[in-house]
Amino acid sequence: MSSAPHPDWIIPDWPVSARVRAVITTRAGGVSSGKFASLNLGARVGDDPQSVARNRAILRACLPAEPAWMKQVHGTAVIDATRATPDTEADGVVTRVAGAVCAIQTADCLPVLLSDRAGGTVGIAHAGWRGLAGGIIENLVRAMGVSPQDLIAYIGPGIGPRSYEVGEDVREVFVRKDPGAAAAFVPRCNGKYLADLYELARQRFAAVKIAEVYGGGFCTASDERFFSFRREGITGRMASLVWLEEN
């Protein structure tokens, strides 16, 4: 990285190759104001475009290249970083090219990072409940092109299990696919459930035989370091990024 990241940003703690670099931004370190204060990186959330451009320039100074931004749609498409454009509809991105920066934006959904043990391939996905239920993790693993047993995963900041209330419809989507998913839902007296996105992601990793999964100890809704759509409605977006350095 050409300049050091903000001290409040998160550097994932996972046992990957020295070639693999990653960073996850928080709200800190930017120029946006009001509901978007301060490092909003989302260009589609209503923030002043000049502020977003300045925020992205702050982030870019810490990276080897411009991130491979894409148009996230809560889907399951995974693309190569070299083919990503801001209008490409996808929710996952992979690369084997040194210096190409895989990036996703979140404000409660989980950022899921993957690397192979050799440090030859990295990928990242935007994994909300729709993506998890639809198979975004499975598609990301497939796009990595290596044996799942050789992959290491890291789950970044998302809404925690004490804050994420959902309806029976969401629970049914998961339980119909995997009865074991019921363990990730705690019933409430109002007929709703508290859903554990982290547990749902871990279940999907286990299903594809990825044993090493790190991270997962955050809650964007209860920790004001983070943007949270559930908490604030109108808010900014954080970025999670992963890339390979030259050998």
* Matching residue, tokens 């925020």: 55
Name all domains of the chain by residue range, CATH numbers in brackets: 20-158+217-244 (3.60.140.10)
Q: Give the closest residue to 26 by CA, choosing from 198, 224, 233, 235.
A: 224
Instruction: Please return the burial class of 247, using the count of CB atoms within 10 Å of its CB with bins 0-12, 13-18 and 19+.
Output: exposed
Please tell me the pTM assigned to this model: 0.97
> Biggest alpha carbon distance in the chain?
55
Q: What is the DSSP string of 122-179?
A: EEEEEE-HHHHHHTHHHHHHHHHTS-GGGEEEEE-----TTT-EE-HHHHHHHHHH-G
pLDDT of amino acid 247: 80
Helix H or strand E segment including 101 = strand 101-106
Note the pLDDT of residue 214. 98
Over residues 146-163, mean pLDDT: 98
**CA 114 to each of CA 64, 83, 136: distance values in angstroms, whole numbers, following the listed order:** 19, 19, 12
pLDDT given for residue 3 in this prediction: 83
C-alpha distances (whole Å) from 150 to each of 8, 55, 74, 141 are: 31, 35, 27, 11
Alpha-carbon distance 243 to 109, whole Å?
21
50-84: pLDDT as tens digits: 999 999 999 999 999 999 999 999 999 999 999 99
User: How many angstroms separate the CA atoms of 22 and 223, rounded?
Assistant: 21
- Residue 176: which pLDDT band, with cuts at 50, 70 and 90? very high
Q: Are 174 and 184 in contact (CB under 8 A)?
A: yes
Residue 1: the pLDDT is 58
Mind giving me the DSSP string for 6-54?
A: PTTSB-------TTEEEEE--STT----GGG-S----SSSS--HHHHHH
Number of H helices, E strands in the chain: 6, 13
How is residue 92 written in tokens?
């996952």
